């Protein structure tokens, strides 16, 4: 690939924040998605056949079939986002196409949203908001809207990567007790700093915590990690929070348990079937649902764009992009 950046043809599948698009216009021969429509497979394929770099995001499924049909000139998939479960990494590897993500810059925002959901569900914010919005509040009462105290509750973090650790730091400041399950145990110093207890057995951790926060990436190994069987290990007073990927939880099983009162509540930002949340989760008093907005801050989304640009520029200059992913997966 030549170092002539302006000749690099870059296709972006969704609208990005204006400063990011302006910078891309300056640097590359860029095609932007002016009306922000969701591209279908044919449109994606056309871009993949005719670009050096594509910049997809999580709503674009880039599977093996599309990768096989990609044009010879496609050399880099610079994903706008940290999760890459929508991209067939080994398939890209087979075609010699590099894949990068935007790790790091959305850690704190996503952890903030996780903490917000822990508080929202435990302190029943949705019930308070609903009463204020309906105009039906009848004034303070000693027994209305009673939630649970955050301090002292046991938080079980599933996946102790960057975001999991950022959640742990916040939760400690709120007085929560930190437990975690992760493929690899953190080093002793890190565990000590976070005052976190490691559980080799996820089952055992689930049976003992008050709040479970899913912060693990979706991979074949983590699909339905919170299966019906595991969800039933939770105590009836427990709540489940997910700001990672919906596929990690068996959403039907979770919905059934919430409706049956077998679990106290849930705070969900992500769903098993993309934007189609199970309709039976709606209007439940113990459930707070958000439209996948964990990383949705102006600052974060601009920094994500800057990371994408850095990855593309490093690649164009013949260097390894800083956020290069291994074809073997994450
Ligand atoms: C958001 O979920 C992301 O993967 O960037």
Angle between helices 125-134 and 107-122 (to 10 degrees): 70
Could you tell me the pTM of the whole model?
0.95
Q: Which of 82, 109, 163 to mutate to test the pocket of ligand 1 (most atoms within 8 A of CB)?
A: 82
Which ligand 1 atom minimizes the distance to the CA of 84?
4
Would you state the pLDDT for residue 5? Answer: 53
Which own/partner contact pairs does 25-31 have at CB distance under 8 Å and 24+ positions apart? 27/309, 27/312, 27/313, 28/53, 28/312
Residues paired with 156 in a beta bridge: 179, 212
Rounded to the nearest whole angstrom, what is the distance from the C-alpha of residue 308 to the centroid of ligand 1? 13
Q: Which of 83, 216, 300 to mutate to test the pocket of ligand 1 (most atoms within 8 A of CB)?
A: 83
The closest of 256, 285, 290 to 275, measured between CA atoms, is 290
**Pocket of ligand 1 contains residue 246 by CB under 6 Å:** no
Q: Which whole-number Å values give the CA distances from 51 to 24, 32, 135, 318, in the listed order? A: 14, 12, 54, 17
Residue 199's CB is within 10 A of a number of other CB atoms, namely 20
Q: CA 140 to CA 137: how far, in whole Å?
A: 8
Angle between helices 162-173 and 107-122 (to 10 degrees): 50
Residue nearest to atom 5 of ligand 1 (CA): 81
* pLDDT tens profile 248-287: 999 999 999 999 999 999 999 999 999 999 999 998 999 9
The closest of 191, 243, 237 to 218, measured between CA atoms, is 243
Q: CA 202 to CA 121: how far, in whole Å?
A: 23
* pLDDT tens profile 157-180: 999 999 999 999 999 999 999 999
**Pocket of ligand 1 contains residue 217 by CB under 6 Å:** no
- Measured over the CA atoms of residue 111, residue 116, residue 118 and residue 121, the dihedral's sign is negative
**Pocket of ligand 1 contains residue 209 by CB under 6 Å:** no
**Pocket of ligand 1 contains residue 164 by CB under 6 Å:** no
Residue nearest to atom 2 of ligand 1 (CA): 83
Which residue bears the tokens 């056309």?
46
The dihedrals phi and psi of 169, each to the nearest 5 degrees, come to: -60, -45
Under DSSP, the state recorded for 142 is T
* pLDDT tens profile 194-252: 999 999 999 999 999 999 999 999 999 999 999 999 999 999 999 999 999 999 999 99
Complete edge-to-edge strand list for the sheet that includes strand 9-12: 29-31, 9-12, 53-55, 76-78, 98-100
Q: CA 304 to CA 288: how far, in whole Å?
A: 27
Rounded to the nearest whole angstrom, what is the distance from the C-alpha of residue 104 to the centroid of ligand 1? 11
* Residue 24 pLDDT class (50, 70, 90 cuts): very high
């Amino acid at each position: 690939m030549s170092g002539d950046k302006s000749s690099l043809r870059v296709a972006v599948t969704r609208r990005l924040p204006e400063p990011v698009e302006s910078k891309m216009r300056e640097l590359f021969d860029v095609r932007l998605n002016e009306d922000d429509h969701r591209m279908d497979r044919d449109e994606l394929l056309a871009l993949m056949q005719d670009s050096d770099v594509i910049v997809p995001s999580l709503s674009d499924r880039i599977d093996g079939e599309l990768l096989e049909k990609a044009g010879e000139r496609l050399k880099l998939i610079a994903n706008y986002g940290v999760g890459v479960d929508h991209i067939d990494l080994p398939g890209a590897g087979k075609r010699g196409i590099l894949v990068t993500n935007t790790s790091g810059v959305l850690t704190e925002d996503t952890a903030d949203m996780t903490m917000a959901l822990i508080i929202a569900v435990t302190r029943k914010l949705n019930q308070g908001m609903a009463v204020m919005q309906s105009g039906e509040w009848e004034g303070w009462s000693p027994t209305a809207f009673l939630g649970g105290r955050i301090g002292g509750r046991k938080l079980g973090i599933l996946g102790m990567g960057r975001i999991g650790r950022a959640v742990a730091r916040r939760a400690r400041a709120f007085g929560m007790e930190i437990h975690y399950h992760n493929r690899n145990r953190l080093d002793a110093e890190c565990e000590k700093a976070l005052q976190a207890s490691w559980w080799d057995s996820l089952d055992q951790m689930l049976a003992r915590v008050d709040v479970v926060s899913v912060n693990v990436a979706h991979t074949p190994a983590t699909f339905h990690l919170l299966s019906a069987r595991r969800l039933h290990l939770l105590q009836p007073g427990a709540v489940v929070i997910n700001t990672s990927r919906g596929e990690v939880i068996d959403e039907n099983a979770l919905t059934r348990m919430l409706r049956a009162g077998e679990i106290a509540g849930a705070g969900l930002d992500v769903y098993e079937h993309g934007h189609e949340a199970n309709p039976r989760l709606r209007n439940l008093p113990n459930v707070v649902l958000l439209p996948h907005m964990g990383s949705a801050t102006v600052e974060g989304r601009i920094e994500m764009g800057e990371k994408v640009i850095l990855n593309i520029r490093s690649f164009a200059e013949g260097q390894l992009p800083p956020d290069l992913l291994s074809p073997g997966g994450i």
